[in-house]
Amino acid sequence: MDQNEYVAKITQLEEQHQFELSKVSHEIRNPVTLINSFLQLIVSQHPEIANFEYWDKVVDNMDFLKSLLNEISNYNNSRKLHTEEVNIHHFLESIISDLNVSLNSRHITIALKKETALPPLPIDVTKMKEAVLNLLRNSCEAIQENGTVEVLISCDGNDVFIRVKDDGPGIPEEYMDTLFTPFVTHKRDGTGLGLAIVKNVITAHNGSILVESNLTSGTVFTITLPI
CATH code for the domain in which residue 130 is found: 3.30.565.10
Which of 23, 47, 76 is the last residue in one of the domains? 76
Residue 165's contacts (CB-CB under 8 Å, 6 or more residues apart) are 139, 149, 150, 151, 152, 218, 219, 220
For residues 41 and 93, state if they share a domain.
Answer: no
For residues 57 and 90, state if they share a domain.
Answer: no
- Tell me how far apart the alpha carbons of residues 92 and 176 are, in angstroms, rounded to a whole number: 26
For residues 17 and 111, state if they share a domain.
Answer: no
For residues 96 and 147, state if they share a domain.
Answer: yes
For residues 198 and 125, state if they share a domain.
Answer: yes
Phi and psi dihedrals of 108, rounded to 5? -115, 135
For residues 203 and 137, state if they share a domain.
Answer: yes
The model carries a pTM of 0.74
Q: From first to last of its 227 residues, what are the pLDDT tens digits of the chain?
A: 677 776 666 666 666 666 576 667 767 777 888 888 889 999 999 999 999 888 988 988 888 788 778 777 777 777 788 899 999 999 999 999 988 888 888 888 999 999 999 999 999 998 899 899 889 988 888 887 788 899 999 999 999 999 999 988 888 888 888 888 887 877 777 777 888 889 989 999 999 999 999 887 889 999 999 98
Helix (H, G, I), strand (E, B) or coil at 15: helix
For residues 202 and 222, state if they share a domain.
Answer: yes
Residue 117 corresponds to which amino acid? A
Q: Domain count for the chain, please give it.
A: 2
CA geometry: angle at 96 spanning 197 and 190, to 5°? 35
For residues 103 and 128, state if they share a domain.
Answer: yes
For residues 110 and 222, state if they share a domain.
Answer: yes
User: Which residue range(s) make up the domain with 50?
Assistant: 3-76
Which of 55, 76, 97 is the last residue in one of the domains? 76
For residues 96 and 124, state if they share a domain.
Answer: yes
Which of 49, 76, 103 is the last residue in one of the domains? 76
For residues 193 and 119, state if they share a domain.
Answer: yes
Answer yes or no: are the C-beta atoms of 223 and 161 closer than 8 Å: yes
**Parallel, antiparallel, or unpaired for β 147-155 and 108-114?**
parallel
For residues 68 and 174, state if they share a domain.
Answer: no
